[in-house]
Amino acid sequence: MKKILTTLIVLSSFVSAWSQATLKGKIVDSSTGEPIAGASVTLANQNITTTTNEAGEFQLLYLDAIDEEVLIDAEGYESGIELVEIAADQTTTIPPISLQPDMAQSANQEVYLNILEQDFNDDEGRTQEQSSAASSSMDVFNNITSFAWSTGRYRNRGYEQRYEQNYIEGLPFNSQERGQFNFSAMGGLNDASRYKETVNPMEASNFAFGGLGQSTNYLMSASNYAQGWKVGAAGTNRNYKAALRATYSSGPLKHNWYVATQLAFRFSPYTEKKGQIGEGIDYYSLGYFITAEKRWERDQLSIITFGAPTSRGQSGAVTQEVYNLTNQFNKNQWGWNNYNPYWGYQNGKMRNSRIVHSFDPTLLVSYKHTLNEKQTIHAAVGYHYSLYSNSALSFYNAPDPRPDYYRNLPSFLWDGQLTENGDFIHTDYAGRPLGKTDGDGLLEDPASYNGTGIGHSIDYNSYKALTDLWTSRDDKATQIDWEALYLANYANNHTNPEGSARYIVERRHNDIQEAAASFRYTDVQFNHLRIIAGAEVKYSEGDHYKTIDDLLGGKQWIDIDPFAERDIKELATNINMTQGEIEFVKQNDLNNPNHKTGTDERFGYDYQIAMAYARIWAQNEWNWQDLDLSYSLALTYSSMQRSTQMLNGRAVYLATLNPAEAELYLGKKADKVLSGIFESSYTGANHSFIDPAFKLALNYKINGRNHIKLNTIAQTQAPWARDAYISQRVHDRVIENIYTHDHAQSLSDYYAASEKIVGADLTYEFNYPVVRGRITGFFTQFWNGSELNGYYDDEARTFVNQALSGINRRHVGGEAAVAVKLGTYFTLTGAASIGDFRYTSNAYSVTSAENGMALDESVNDAGKNISVYEVRDSVLIKGLHVSNGPQLNASLKLSFFHPKMWFADITLTYYDWNWLDYAPARRMQGLYYGVRADGTSVNGSYAQVYMDHDRSFDARQLNEDGSVALDKYGTPLLEEPYQWLAAQESLVSDKIWHRFVIDMSFGKLIYLPNRQSLSINLSVTNLTNNVNLKTSGFQQARLPRSTRQGEADGENSTINSNIWKFPSKYYYAWGTNFYFTMTYKF
């Protein structure tokens, strides 16, 4: 730290005297003449930026006395450009610059936030986060792409949201558990979140160190908001149907107080019509925002509070087969690919089983002190309580209640009847026809089916009867049959009144409390140099537990792990325990065995993760005639520690199995762990990390209009708490490299756990009155990333957790955008992005069963079984595409603006290069080579008989005479398994017109007397109703049993075609949807 300070001081001493030119001005609304606060003002040639105050005024110091181009950018307004002449050694004051309202952008912002919220779903798939940083309208590229490309779930440079930094008034707001920012915290409060500073990836920021992705700082001081009232109403056919909003800003009050507030109510009753967007979803959200500011001559103090209690139903991704079946019905309802498996009828009314409750009450106090014209101090403290929970059906010793459970689908009745895309196939895997088909891929006629060549199948009439239930969307067969769930519970009350309910609706909570403080010091007293130094601290507690929403007529839920109970046979053979003794293993809380859980109490798991975070950072920004240079340093400390209120039977069982390991990982002797049974809680080891980061940015000014920019970053990033634990609901064992880190012997051990990131981008940017734009190339290399997956393992027949680490990947690509003014009324904007985001290494994984059972066993020399509880293996992902939105995108947008305040635009967007997310379980080395990375052998594999680890011919697989190995039918074994399973599916449609989406918006602003106005805007997304755009999807991790090579049909000797029994699940873009708003200002 001392060194950093010394460096800063030395660098500061290089400051030389330069000119003392100053520029002053004011930004106003073109129609009302009202000042625009929070507008960003940039001098194009000198690359200096500032923000306007509440009076719309700005001032820039220490300027070069040259002709300048002033670029103005404000949320909700079209960008403006003004040419000025800056006089030397004096203050130049320019006349007020007026900006035209950009109504389309305001409307888009709302639509966009809606998409972000909808995507915040952590229950399914490997990565479902699709949200992206808020836009920076200053940047031509971001301005068009952040809205237009949201339909295709484009992600800037393929980065996950955790690489984007989000701040509110300088306070860090990314979660310490997942690294993400929860946009639903501000759900619907579009005015409250309107003002923000956005910094492009890796560029120098003046509010924080920033990071690899975009950085955004939301500014919520009351004086930012335009004085007056604003009330609005919106109608849409999306997840919610209507919104009402009211915003009030006081402007300056007595004693220099300012107050601003917003209320936003968004709602939708259940969308009853099958096939429509938002089918089976209800939605209620009430957002509030209150901010008050007190200003003194040199000080500003703001108090901000907001929150948006929200309850919203969810929809789920399904397999292509389910879409094919339900579209038979939906297509007659003008709805495609909108089937939602999560709802069902109860007493004749819709009920969704998956309801998210979220509420993020937040309180912030921010303070700014101006020491003098050149030195300012910002400080902020805040408290944020994120309450997030999601409900789901849970069941005990009863059939799976999900209508789209694979055993309830027609494909289950015919072995091997799905393609890898989940479509029905009409021939068996040997190519023999099963009958003619209709156009929608459904088996129609079994005439030519001769019963050979496939495995189990049911007769055609039985198959047809089930298919008919699906194509007609029978209420009980294709949706949740709530009445059957009640029936099961009522029956159980009679036969087993003390027993566990068969079905319940449980609620999985992940609450986080955070207290944060930040401080920064900005100094511009030296010519050409701005010094910023800051510190951030944050303490978070993640609280994870389950409660019961509804017992569905049952009397109680017994708090055990049903899967552990089911697999008790395996446990019994694994250890020398009696059945009675083994009963404890299935307990979720040994201090409270067989607890009869009712509503409003915690069950299942109840653990907390305490996370501390502290960062210091400093930045120098030099501005010279031809060159700007900035460099920043940050040092971050973080820690995590899990504690649990419940003593999980599997945790204790696993710890006692291998006392040495218990000591190694838990830091406790096995007997101590056992004695923990009698403690009320248990706190695990504390893991702490220190991560350095460095940024360097150069801006070479060829001339006033043409710049070349280079940004670089190098940093390490500690693993997020969510990814660090092998099976955090059960115990607090961490992934190996954190263990290595905790017991570091050398420097490399010390950074064993952290992800290392090196990134750079190079931009050419041009700015002419008629045309402006940029072209950028970027490169990022990640080493040693980690992530956690959970899935149902068909081989072990249980839910497993799979912790991945050592993930390396490289993101290379380019972005370009250009905006051309075509005469007075039209602007044409084009943008394109191309990327190649790939894994550059295989990953390492630790897989363990949630219910504590052994996942494998081997027999030792003494003939005894050795149980393997944690399977360690490589995951073969090298060369795969990172699945994070389309990697080839292009848009053309034509905008129209008439001075009588008519607006319209139309955008054509093309999406390509989008890949399905892989399931690690399908790519385990052991599956293909028969030997895992840790040297253990796999009992039954898709052995790569033709290939060695480097995919070359493996001599060991040859017969004695040098010919290839044969299966039991004497047929040569093929290399197909790996090819089949390892190919990464493209989500892009074969038909080129399915890759295009057209959006349109249209608006009018009407001025009324007394500075009142009424604005009307209609935006229509996906005008041509392209329902064939797959936006994302994931492979089901589950692999069917008995599909291993050598067990297949003699003729073909491939793996059994049942390999596609658990096909991928997809999300499709919505068909045509609209958002209509009317806003009245007074």
Partner 1 sequence: MKTAFPTTARMLMLSAAVFLISGCHKPVAEDELFATEAQVAELTKDGHLYTLNELVDRFMTEQGNYLSDTTQYRTRANNDGVNPGIWLFSIDTLPSQGEGIYIRGRVITDDYGGNFYKALVIQQVVDGEQQALRLSVDAGSISGIYPLGQELLIRCNGFAIGRYANQVQLCVPSHNNNTYADNAEQKVGWAPGRIPFARFKAATTLIGTPDVSRLHVDEYTIQEIAQDYDIQKARTKDGCLVRIRNIFYTGQYEYNGTLDNCTTGNPSTDTYANVFAPTTGNVGYPQSRIISDGTPYKTNISMSEYAKQANYYLPGADSTGVEHCKDFVGTVTGILSYYMDNANYAPDMYNWSISIRDLRDLELYRTDDIEKRYDWLTNYATEYTFHPEEEEQQ
CB of 52 to partner 1, least distance (A): 35
Judged on CB neighbours under 10 Å (0-12, 13-18, 19+), 410 is buried
Segment contacting partner 1 by CB under 8 A, of 100-108, 522-530, 561-569, 897-905: 561-569
Phi and psi at 294, nearest 5°, equal -120, 130
Compute the least distance from the CB of residue 306 to partner 1, in Å: 12
Cα 174 from Cα 176, distance rounded (Å): 6
Q: Which of 228, 251, 435, 455 binds partner 1 (CB under 8 A)?
A: 455
Q: Does 589 bind partner 1 (CB under 8 A)?
A: no
State in angstroms the smallest separation of the CB of 486 from partner 1: 4
Cβ proximity to partner 1, 22 vs 268, nearer residue: 268
What's the closest the beta carbon of residue 789 comes to partner 1, in angstroms? 25
Q: Examine residue 38 and tell whether it contacts partner 1 (CB under 8 A).
A: no
Per CB under 8 A, the list member of 346, 591, 781, 936 interacting with partner 1 is 346
Nearest CA-CA partner of 539 in 368, 385, 377 = 385
Q: Does 936 bind partner 1 (CB under 8 A)?
A: no
Q: Which of 3, 254, 255, 494 forms a contact with partner 1 (CB under 8 A)? A: 494
Residue with tokens 């915290």: 185
Distance between CA atoms of residues 951 and 977, nearest Å: 13
Is the separation of the CB atoms in 845 and 925 below 8 Å? no
Q: Which of 28, 484, 674, 908 binds partner 1 (CB under 8 A)?
A: 484
CB of 284 to partner 1, least distance (A): 5
Please tell me whether residue 851 adopts helix, strand or coil conformation.
coil
The DSSP symbol for 755 reads: E
Q: What angle do CA 435, 441, 443 make, to 5 degrees?
A: 35
Q: What is the size of the binding site for partner 1 (CB under 8 A)?
A: 101
Question: What is the C-alpha separation between 665 and 669, in angstroms, rounded?
Answer: 10
Q: Contact between 397 and partner 1 (CB under 8 A)?
A: yes
Among 24, 298, 407, 432, binds partner 1 (CB under 8 A): 407
The C-alpha atoms of residue 1004 and residue 31 are separated, in whole angstroms, by 13
Interface of this chain with partner 1, residues 595 to 634, rule: CB under 8 A: 606, 608, 610
Contacts of 937 (CB under 8 A, 6+ apart): 858, 926, 930, 931
Residue 420 CB coordination number (10 Å):
17
Tell me which residues in 1026-1045 interact with partner 1 (CB under 8 A): 1042
Contact set for partner 1, span 668-697 (CB under 8 A): 681
DSSP code string of 597-657? E-TTS-EEEEEEEEEEEEEEEEEEEEE-SSEEEEEEEEEEEEEEEEEESS--HHHHHHHHH
Site for partner 1 contains 490 (CB under 8 A):
yes
Q: Determine, following the binding rule CB under 8 A, whether residue 866 of this chain makes contact with partner 1.
A: yes
Q: Are 374 and 61 in contact (CB under 8 A)?
A: yes
Residue showing tokens 């695990």: 684
Q: Is residue 971 a contact point for partner 1 (CB under 8 A)? A: no
What residues between 113 and 142 interact with partner 1 by CB under 8 A? none
HSE-up (13 A, CA, CB side) for residue 775: 1
Query: According to the binding rule CB under 8 A, does residue 10 interact with partner 1?
Result: no
By CB under 8 A, the residues from 79 to 108 that bind partner 1 are none
CB atoms within 10 A of CB 1025: 14
Applying CB under 8 A, which part among 364-372, 753-761, 807-815, 856-864 lies near partner 1? 856-864
Instruction: Tokens 């690690």: give the residue.
Output: 920
Place of tokens 């033709």: 946
From residue 520 to residue 549, the character string flagging contacts with partner 1 as x (rule: CB under 8 A) and all else as - is -------------------x-x-x------
Contact with partner 1 (CB under 8 A) among 16, 576, 745, 746: 576
Around 286, how many Cα atoms within 13 Å sit in the side-chain half-sphere? 0
Min separation Cβ 282 and partner 1, Å: 6
Residues 6+ apart with CB under 8 A from 425: 416, 417, 418, 419, 434
> Which residues in the 271-330 window bind partner 1 by CB under 8 A?
282, 284, 286, 307, 309-311
Report in angstroms the alpha-carbon separations of 961 from 586, 944, 955: 54, 20, 11
Least distance in angstroms from the C-beta of 43 to partner 1? 46
Contact by Cβ (8 Å): 1013, 897: no
Tell me the CB-side half-sphere exposure of residue 996, using CA atoms within 13 A.
9
- Alpha-carbon gap, residue 418 to 881, rounded angstroms: 24
The answer to the question of residue 1049 lying near partner 1 (CB under 8 A) is: yes
Work out how close the CB of 790 gets to partner 1 at its nearest, in angstroms, rounded to a whole number: 21
DSSP string, 43-54: ETTTTEEEE--T
Of positions 60, 277, 488, 988, contacts partner 1 by CB under 8 A: 488
Nearer to partner 1, 189 or 466 (CB): 466
Task: Rule CB under 8 A: say whether 187 interacts with partner 1.
Answer: no
Nearer to partner 1, 370 or 867 (CB): 867
Nearer to partner 1, 575 or 762 (CB): 575
Nearer to partner 1, 220 or 466 (CB): 466
Question: Toward partner 1, which CB reaches closer, 59 or 681?
Answer: 681
Q: Is 433 in the site for partner 1 (CB under 8 A)?
A: no
Spatial separation of the C-alpha atoms in residues 790 and 676, rounded to whole Å: 27
Quote the least distance from Cβ 411 to partner 1, whole Å: 12
The answer to the question of residue 462 lying near partner 1 (CB under 8 A) is: yes
The partner residues of 172 in beta bridges, in order of sequence, read: 167
The CA-atom distances, in angstroms, between 1013 and each of 99, 264, 1005, 1010 are: 16, 20, 7, 9
Is residue 573 a contact residue for partner 1 (CB under 8 A)? yes
| Backbone φ/ψ region at 367: left (φ over 0), alpha (ψ -120 to 50), beta | beta
467 or 716, CB closer to partner 1?
Answer: 467
For position 457 contacting partner 1 by CB under 8 A, the verdict is: yes
Question: Binding partner 1 by CB under 8 A: which of 5, 253, 465, 983?
Answer: 465
Q: Which is nearer to partner 1, 455 or 814 (CB)?
A: 455
The residue from 13, 16, 452, 824 that contacts partner 1 (CB under 8 A) is 452
Nearer to partner 1, 314 or 780 (CB): 314
Q: How far is the CB of 653 from partner 1 (least distance, A)?
A: 14
Distance from chain centroid for Cα 94 = 45
Taking CB under 8 A as the criterion, the residue among 495, 703, 746, 1010 binding partner 1 is 495
Residue at 254: amino acid letter: K
> Of 400 and 438, which has the nearer Cβ to partner 1?
400
Cβ proximity to partner 1, 345 vs 996, nearer residue: 345
Beta strands 171-172 and 196-199, pairing class: unpaired
881: Cα within 13 Å, side-chain hemisphere: 21
Shortest spacing between CB 386 and partner 1, in angstroms: 10
Would you count residue 432 as binding partner 1 (CB under 8 A)?
A: no
The smaller minimum CB distance to partner 1, of residues 157 and 507, is found at 507
Residue closer to partner 1 by CB (options 541, 836) is 541
Pick the closer one to partner 1 by CB: 371 or 866: 866
How far apart, in whole angstroms, are the C-alpha atoms of residue 813 and residue 762?
Answer: 11
Beta bridge mates, 938? none
- Asked whether position 481 contacts partner 1 by CB under 8 A, the answer is yes
The interface region with partner 1, picked from 33-41, 113-121, 352-360, 437-445 by CB under 8 A, is: 352-360
| Identified binder of partner 1 from the candidate list 41, 516, 552, 921, rule CB under 8 A | 552
Distance CA 325, CA 467 (A): 8
Q: Does 566 bind partner 1 (CB under 8 A)?
A: yes
Among candidates 619, 777, 633, 768, which has minimal Cα distance to 710? 777
